[in-house]
Structure 1
Amino acid sequence: MVDTFLGLALPVGSTKDHPITCPMGPAAPPLSKLKLPPFLMVVAERDLIQDTELEYLEEMKKAGKEIEVAYNKGVGHSFYLNKIAVELDPVTATETDLLISTISDFVKRH
């Protein structure tokens, strides 16, 4: 499934090592040279790719980028997109409300 999504998102003939999906890989430009505005990174406690997300976060910090983190407890990847869970699970509902509030606050400050 991931390969299918990557095939739809990346230029034809690209691999998962493309800079879009591998911003710290050998084909990517140095993070320190990128001109980026402040940005918010969302990490879910039960996300299966959390280790990679946190590695990216640390590399962005080392590169001197202004980055904030929203950490949502007890939920997995893209938890806010699961309408049924948002409506029926109190943890998912609370964490979704927290995420929306965090994003709103971030946008207002920047």
Structure 2
Amino acid sequence: MSLPNGKTQDHPIANPFGPASPNLELLELDLILILVSKDEILKDRVKLYAEKLQEFGKVVGYNEFDGKGHGFFINDPYSDVSDSVLNLIKEFMVQHSNLAS
């Protein structure tokens, strides 16, 4: 649904390791925090993405959440799981911040 008209699943938006994608190993990337539900249909692809980036030496945080579906932390923004997500984001930022003491 998010691909440009006439493009295939190998488009870089859908397949960051596809033949038309830039070599992510060579790119300088910012820190990446990945949050995914264990019930997410594309969880295996998300996990593979995180693992490949880690293999390339990129700084990646990866967290899975039990019993939640797609969009779990925005669908119920005043829930315990949303609080957990915000805390993970904060911890990731503090852990990797040049300002942390």
TM-score normalised to structure 1 length: 0.75
Query: SS of 2:83's equivalent?
Result: helix
Residue 31 of structure 2: aligned partner: 38
- TM-fit CA distance, 1:22: 1.0
Structure 1 residue runs of 5 or longer lacking an equivalent are 88-92
- Tell me the alpha carbon deviations over residues 59-97 of structure 1, each in whole angstroms, 9 at most, x when there is no partner: 1111111111122221111112224xx56xxxxx22211
> What is the Cα-based RMSD across aligned positions, in Å?
1.8
- TM-fit CA distance, 1:17: 1.8
Q: Distance in 2 between matches of 1:62 and 1:80?
A: 28
Q: How many residues align?
A: 96
1:80 aligns with 2:73: yes
1:94 aligns with 2:80: yes
Q: Distance in 1 between matches of 2:60 and 2:75?
A: 26
| Structure number having the greater helix percentage | 1
User: Which residue identity is paired with 2:7?
Assistant: S
User: Which residue identity is paired with 2:8?
Assistant: T
Q: Distance in 2 between matches of 1:20 and 1:33?
A: 18
1:29 aligns with 2:22: yes
Q: Distance in 1 between matches of 2:83 and 2:49?
A: 25
1:14 aligns with 2:31: no
- TM-fit CA distance, 1:42: 0.8
User: Which residue identity is paired with 2:41?
Assistant: L
